[in-house]
Amino acid sequence: MAISEQWDNYVVEYEPRLFSTHELFGNDNPLTVEIGFGMGDSLLEMAIANPQRNFLGIEVHKPGVGKLLHGVAESGLTNVKVFCHDAIDILAHCIGAGCIDTLLIFFPDPWHKKRHNKRRLVQTEFITGLLPLLADAGRIHLATDWEPYAEHMVEAMEAVQGMTNANGAGQFWPLPDRPGTKFERRGIRLGHGVWDLLYIKR
């Protein structure tokens, strides 16, 4: 229901052109972008807690978009917009240089099988291509609950020229400032680990 009622209020239709923060939100507040927000629980919580920041969520899964739109409308938020389109296109065509203050990639598909590892989103080349979109001292926050992917993330990120690990080379972030998700909490109850990384553009 929310997806039809709220779509026009919060979803930005993809066009291969630059969208300024002011065009999307009517202000120039710092922009947080989350790639693949899933059901949107953490994005909603962050947007509620940080009204002085703008949040742009990118997700192709329509049920997740619908759930987020419901929460955003119910909370009366004005600092959230959504692209329901492939993130690669959005990042390549729609976001201008220096626009992103914080980029979030939480629990991306780990592509468990070795032959599929190259499909993982977090790759040195991909992140390097995003650096021009980050503001000075812009942040990239990554999280995964799959240890082999966590190790892959460290390897990929440490090879990016122009970013520094905020917790020291090769180190994970022990106390990350992000909301937990119900899937994460369930995993922790089952004894699964979660690994966060924070990198800062230098």
Catalytic residues, by residue number, are: 109
Residue 81 to residues 40, 102, 171, Cα–Cα distance (Å): 12, 15, 32
In whole angstroms, what is the distance from residue 92 CA to residue 120 CA? 18
In whole angstroms, what is the distance from residue 201 CA to residue 23 CA? 25
Name the DSSP class of 113. S
Per-residue exposure over 149-179, b if at least 16 CB sit within 10 Å of its own CB, e if not: bbebbbebbeebeebbbebeeeebbeebebe
In whole angstroms, what is the distance from residue 146 CA to residue 55 CA? 26
In whole angstroms, what is the distance from residue 127 CA to residue 156 CA? 9
Backbone region of residue 30 per phi and psi (left: phi > 0; alpha: psi in -120 to 50; beta: other values): beta
